[in-house]
């Protein structure tokens, strides 16, 4: 059975002067959270961006997928911490997300550095968000603690 998660966005005015709100409809974890175009080019507190949300989704997906692959190998992580730096910039083809850098730090008893790096690479390619973003250059930095 498929699970469909829903989110919505509202926008008013021009791109440069406009503003909007986003809501996580399925979970209601956030509703009417503000976003705007200026926040995409200049970091602003209390204003989110599509890139920030994409990064959160990618980091969460990577961490869960990492746990799944570890479980398949009989391993359990004490902790899996992942961040995603999503680069938004203007290119010759217009505004674009040009890179996602995943940084992972995990504490996993009983795993070698070589096995850890192999699993990290497998997860980078196989987590559902990575697969959905296959056209974006996704970088990974993983450290075992």
Query: What confidence score (pLDDT) does residue 137 get?
Result: 82
Q: pTM of the full predicted structure?
A: 0.88
Low-confidence residues in the chain, pLDDT < 70: none
Q: How far apart are CA 85 and CA 102, in angstroms?
A: 7
Q: Kindly give the pairing relationship between strand 94-107 and strand 79-91.
A: antiparallel
pLDDT value at residue 44: 73
pLDDT at 41: 78
In this prediction, residue 141 carries a pLDDT of 92
Q: What is the DSSP string of the chain?
A: ------EEEEEES-TTT-EEEEEETTT-SS-SEEE-SHHHHS--TT-B-HHHHHHHHHHHHHHHHHHHHHHHTT---SEEEEEEEEEEEEETTEEEEEEEEEEEEEE-TT--HHHHHHHHHHHHHHSHHHHHTTTSEEEEEEEE-
- pLDDT value for 76: 97
Place of tokens 């995990």: 106
pLDDT of residue 43: 73
């Amino acid at each position: 059975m498929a699970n469909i998660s829903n989110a919505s966005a509202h926008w008013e005015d021009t791109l440069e002067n406009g503003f909007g709100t986003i809501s996580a409809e399925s979970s209601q974890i956030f509703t009417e959270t503000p976003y705007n175009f200026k926040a995409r080019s200049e970091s602003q507190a209390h204003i989110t961006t599509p890139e920030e949300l994409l990064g959160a989704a990618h980091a969460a997906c990577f961490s869960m997928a990492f746990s799944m692959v570890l479980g398949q190998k009989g391993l359990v992580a004490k902790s899996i911490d992942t961040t995603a730096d999503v680069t938004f910039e203007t290119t010759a083809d217009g505004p674009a997300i040009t890179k996602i850098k995943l940084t992972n730090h995990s504490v996993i008893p009983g795993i070698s550095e070589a096995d850890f790096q192999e699993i990290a690479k497998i997860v980078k390619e196989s987590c559902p968000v990575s697969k959905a973003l296959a056209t974006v250059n996704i970088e990974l930095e993983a450290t075992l603690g």
